[in-house]
Chain A
Amino acid sequence: MNTATKRMLTGSKALSEAIAQEMERDPRVFVMGEDVAGYGGIFGATEGLLNKFGPERVRDTPISETAFIGTAIGAAAEGLRPIAELMFVDFHGVCMDQIYNHMAKIHYMSGGNVKLPMVLMTAVGGGYDDAAQHSQTLYASFGHLPGMKVVAPSTPYDLKGMMTSAIREDNPVVFMFHKALQGLAWMDQIDESIGIVPEESYTVPLDKAKVVREGTDVTIVGVQMMTHAATRAADRLQAEGISAEVIDLRSIAPLDKDTILESVRKTHRLIVVDEDYLSYGMTAEVAAVVAEEALYELEAPIKRLAIPNVPIPYSSVLEKFVLPNADIIYDEVKRIISL
C-alpha cells in the first residue's frame, strides 16, 4: 500500500473531491442548489467547487426546489449531467412531483429514448435534535418508486466512489449522504465520519451491499448510521462469543438480494435495522426477500428495528427513544440467539 491510499478524509471532503474530479473530467457536469456556491453547501458537500469552477457551473438557486430540480431534469434530457442538491431530504415534499413523476419515470415513459444522467444529492438523518421536519432519512420513500437508483453510503471511501459512479451513471441517482457521517466541525464528532480515501478517482458500484464484518451466528443488515451501530453491537457480542455478520446495504435501490441471502444461509438468523419508519420500510423489504427466498434457512423469526411509526420528536430524551441504537441491537441479538 502506498502512502497516498492512507490519506484520511471526512465524508464531506470525500464527496466534494469526487464532484470536483468529475467536473474536471467532464465539462457537462455542473452543480446547483441552495447555498452550494460560496457557502459550500450546508453540509460541506460542495466546498471549494465555486473557486475551482466558477459560478456558471456551481450555481446558488433561489429557494425554489420544484424549479431547480425540474431544471436539472430538463438539462439532463439535453445531455448535461447536473447534480442538484436538495438541502435536507425532508424538503422533498415541495418538489416530489418533479422527482417521482418526472425524474423517475421519463426514461420508462419514453421507451428508453430519453436519458436523465443526473444526481439528486440530499442530506438525511437525525440524532441531533433537529425535530420532525429536519431529521428523517426517508430511504424507503425513495426506494419505493421504480426508475431511480437510491444510494446511501456509510463511509468516506464509499461516499467518494459512489458519487463518482453516480455522476457517470446514465440514470437518475438519488444520492443520500448522512449528516452525521460528513465529519462536520459543528456536529458530534464520530470516528466513522473519517476514513481512508485514495486521492485518485475510483468508482464503487451503485448496486452492491458490503459485508463489513463477517460472522456466523446472526446477520445484521443496516445502512449508514445503523450499519455503524450494528458494528458496535457486534464488537460487544464478539466479547461474549457471539459472532455477528454485519451487512452495509449501501444501496437502497436496487437492493443487493444476493449478499443478504448468502449471509442468511450461513447464519440462519436475521435482524434488520433502519433509521427510517418501521412500516412499509426497508426492514420490511429485506425481511420479505428473505422470507420469500430463504424462509427455511431461518432458525428464528426475523426481527426488524426501526423508528416506531412516529414523527421524529425534538427533545433529546424522546428522539433517543425512537432511534434504534447499538444497545437495542445487542439486546435483540441476544434474544434471537437464544430462541
Chain B
Amino acid sequence: MLSIEASQLKWMYETMVKIRYYEETMVQVYAEGKNPVFNIGAGPVPGEMHLAAGQEPAAVGICAHLTNDDTVTAPHRPHHHAIAKGVDLMKMTAEIFGKETGLGKGKGGHMHLFDPVAKFSCGGIVAAGVPHAVGAALAAKMQGKDYVAVAFIGEGAANAGAFHESLNLAAVWKLPVIVVIEDNAYGISVPKSASTAVPSNDVRGAAYGIPGAYVKDNDPLEMYRVSEEAVARARRGDGPSIIEIETYRYLGHFQGDPEVYRKKTEVPELHQRDPIVRLKNYMLAEGAATDSEISQMEEHAKAEVDAAYQFARDSAYPSPEAALDDVFEPVHTGVTAEVAATGQDS
C-alpha cells in the first residue's frame, strides 16, 4: 500500500522535473550574452539570478496540499515555489526576460514575481515575505475562510528579526501559516553553523509554543507527510508551525558565484542523492507509475517549459515611457470619474 496517493506522487514528480528543467534552461539562457566575459547586466536575462535546482522537494512537498485559494510567499530564490504554486509560467518567464507580457510588465524581474491569480508573491529582501504570509493568514481568519498561507525562506533568513516577530505574532493570534525553511546549508557564503545558534530551526518553534519539524536528506515523501500535518493543523484553526528541510543547492548562490566557500566535491556528492531520481525509483518500485508514464510526464513538463521560454523570447519589450506608469492606481477608490477628469488626479 502506498502511503501517498499515486496521483499526488505523479504531480510531485512532474512538477519537480518541470522545476529542474526550468532552472537548467535558465542556466543556459542567463549565460547568453555573458560570454566570453561575464557581465551581470548583459544578455536577454540580466541582473542577479538565484536558481533552485536541487531544492524541488521543499516546494512540491507542501504545495501538493495547497489549493488555489491558499497563499504562498517566497524569497529571492523563487522559481520552484512559483512553479509548484501554479504561477502562470509564460508570464513568469516573460517577466524574467523583462517583457511587457510579464507578470509585472517587466518592472519586477526574477526576484519580484507577483501573480495574484495564483496567490503568489516573492521579494528580494531576506525574510520580508514571512509577515506577508502572516497577513494572508490573518485575512483568511478574519474572513472566516479555511485558507492557509505558506512562507518559504532560506535557513539564513531564520536569523532575521522579521522571522521571529512574525512567528510570535502568528502564534499569539493562532493564524493558519506555515513557515518552510529551506536549509541548503549556506546563506550566500556563510555556512549555517556560522550563522545560526541552533543546529536546526525546527527547535525554534518552542520559543513561540508552536510545532516544528525537520525533514532530513531532501526527501520529498517526508516533506509531503510533514506538510500534510502542518497544513491540516492550520486549516483546523490550530495555528502556525515551522518545517525545516535539509535541501541541496546545486548551483551557486547566484549565477556567476565563484563558490570559493565550498569544496569542489560537494555538489557532485549531492547529485548522487538527487531527489528526482529517488522519487522516480520509488514510484517505479512501488508501481505508482510505469516507465512510459514517467517519460510522458517528463516530456509534458519540458514542453511546457519550452513553450514558456519561447513565449518570453517572442514577446515585446515595454516602451521606455511605461517606466512612469503603475506607481499608483490611476484613480483612487472613491474618487469619481468627474473629479479625475478635472485633472486633479493627473
A129 touches B109 (CB 8 A): yes
Closest to A179 in B: B40
A313 pairs with B127, CB closer than 8 A:
no
In the assembled complex, A308 has its CB within 8 A of some CB on chain B: yes
Within 8 A of B (CB), among A282-339: 308-311, 313-322
Interface check A216, CB cutoff 8 A = no
Tell me if B324 is interfacial: C-beta within 8 Å of chain A.
Answer: yes
Which of A65, A134, A322 is B323 in contact with, Cβ under 8 Å? A322
Contacts of B237 in A (CB 8 A): none
Once the chains bind, are A185 and B38 in contact (CB under 8 Å)?
yes
Partner of A309, one of B126, B161, B327: B327
Kindly report which residue of chain A lies nearest to residue B162, judged by CB atoms. Answer: A94
Whole-angstrom distance from the CB of A320 to the nearest CB of chain B?
A: 7
Distance, CA A322 to CA B319, complexed state (A): 12
Nearest A residue to B107 via CB reads A313
Assuming the contacts A133-B123, A317-B317, asked whether A310 and B323 have C-beta atoms less than 8 A apart, the reply is yes
Alpha-carbon distance between A240 and B300 when the two chains are bound, in angstroms? 62
Spot the interface stretch: B41-49, B54-62, B65-73, B301-309. B41-49
A38 in the interface (beta carbon within 8 A): yes
Q: Mark A51-91, 1 if CB is under 8 A from B, else 0.
A: 00000000011111111000000000000000000000011
> What is the interface of chain A mostly: helix, strand, loop, or mixed?
loop
B106: Cβ under 8 A from any A Cβ: yes
> Shortest Cβ distance from A50 into chain B, in angstroms?
11
Q: Separation in Å of the A280 CB from the closest CB of chain B?
A: 16
Check: B86 CB closer than 8 A to any chain A CB: no
Which of A91, A131, A310, A311 makes the CB contact (< 8 A) with B111? A131
Asked if A241 is at the interface of the complex by the 8 Å CB criterion, the answer is no
B209 within 8 A of A: no
- Is A313's CB under 8 angstroms from B195's CB? no
Fill in one digit per residue for A19-55: 1 if any B CB lies within 8 Å of its CB, else 0. Answer: 0000000000000001100110010000000000000
B323 vs chain A, min Cβ distance (A): 4
Which B residues lie within 8 Å of A258 (CB)? none
B48 touches A134 (CB 8 A): yes
B318 surroundings in chain A (CB, below 8 A): 315, 317-318
Q: Does B287 contact A (CB under 8 A)?
A: no
A187 within 8 A of B: yes
Q: Would you give the shortest CB distance from B159 to chain A, in whole angstroms? A: 4
A207: chain B residues at CB < 8 Å are none
Give which listed residue, B46, B126, B323, contacts A129 with CB less than 8 A.
B46
| A127 at interface by CB-CB < 8 Å | yes
Chain A positions within 8 Å of B211 at CB level: none
Residues of A within 8 A of B162 (CB): 94
Interface pair A131/B124, CB less than 8 Å apart = yes
Chain A residues closer than 8 Å to B317, beta-carbon distance: 315-317
| Residue among A309, A316, A320 with max Cβ neighbours from chain B (10 Å) | A316
Which of B10-18, B170-178, B182-190, B214-222 touches A?
B182-190
When A132-B112, A321-B321 are in contact, do A42 and B188 touch as well, CB less than 8 Å?
yes
A128 at the interface (CB under 8 A from B): yes
Q: Are A318 and B106 in contact (CB under 8 A)?
A: yes
In whole angstroms, how far apart are the Cα atoms of A189 and B39 in the complex?
A: 8
Which residues of A are found within 8 Å of B159, using beta-carbon distances? 62-64
A315 in complex: contacting residue of B107, B111, B324, CB < 8 Å? B107
Contact with A along B60-88 (1 / 0, CB 8 A): 00000000000000000000000000000
Q: 6 tightest CB-CB pairs across the interface, nearest first?
A: A315-B98, A314-B109, A315-B106, A128-B41, A129-B47, A129-B46
Q: Return 17 A-B CB contacts under 8 Å, by A number.
A: A34-B187, A60-B190, A63-B157, A63-B187, A64-B160, A128-B41, A131-B107, A133-B111, A186-B40, A187-B40, A187-B41, A314-B112, A315-B109, A316-B46, A317-B320, A319-B323, A321-B320
Q: What residues of chain A have their CB less than 8 Å away from a CB belonging to chain B?
A: 34-35, 38-39, 42, 60-67, 90-91, 93-94, 127-134, 185-189, 308-311, 313-322
A65-B160, A131-B111 are known; give 14 further A-B pairs, CB within 8 A. Answer: A35-B190, A129-B47, A130-B48, A131-B124, A132-B112, A133-B123, A133-B125, A185-B38, A187-B41, A314-B47, A314-B112, A317-B317, A318-B98, A318-B322
